Homo-oligomer: A and B are copies of this chain.
């Protein structure tokens, strides 16, 4: 899974029926900085759209699951989903010597 922050949302009236009822949130993938916070990856910006499974809000740090695992976890058979928010981060502590 990846760490990221909810930074916005997508509204799409015309979409696959199996996405109806799902909140589509924009997550910016981030890296742990070693001080307990998350920050931009040195590899440049990386955004994804994920269905929200746990009631995440804008500004919250989250755990995102990608690929067919995300589709299966949504509970919707054959869902056109490859990204899901599956946890809201309380803490993401990393050994500072292991960053950079």
Give the interface of A toward B (CB within 8 A). Answer: 1-3, 5, 7-16, 18-19, 24, 26, 28, 31-32, 41-50, 53-55, 58-59, 63, 65-73, 75, 78-84, 86-95, 98-100
B3–A63 touching, CB < 8 Å: no
- Indicate if the CB atoms of A15 and B54 lie closer than 8 Å: yes
> Copies per complex?
5
Give the nearest-CB partner of A100 in chain B: B45
Q: Do B41 and A45 touch across chains, with their CB atoms under 8 A apart?
A: yes
Least CB distance, A35 to chain B, in whole angstroms: 12
Other A-B contacts than A26-B94, A43-B45, 14 sampled, CB-CB below 8 A, are A1-B81, A3-B47, A7-B94, A8-B95, A8-B98, A15-B54, A15-B86, A41-B45, A42-B45, A53-B80, A59-B95, A68-B71, A73-B78, A80-B84
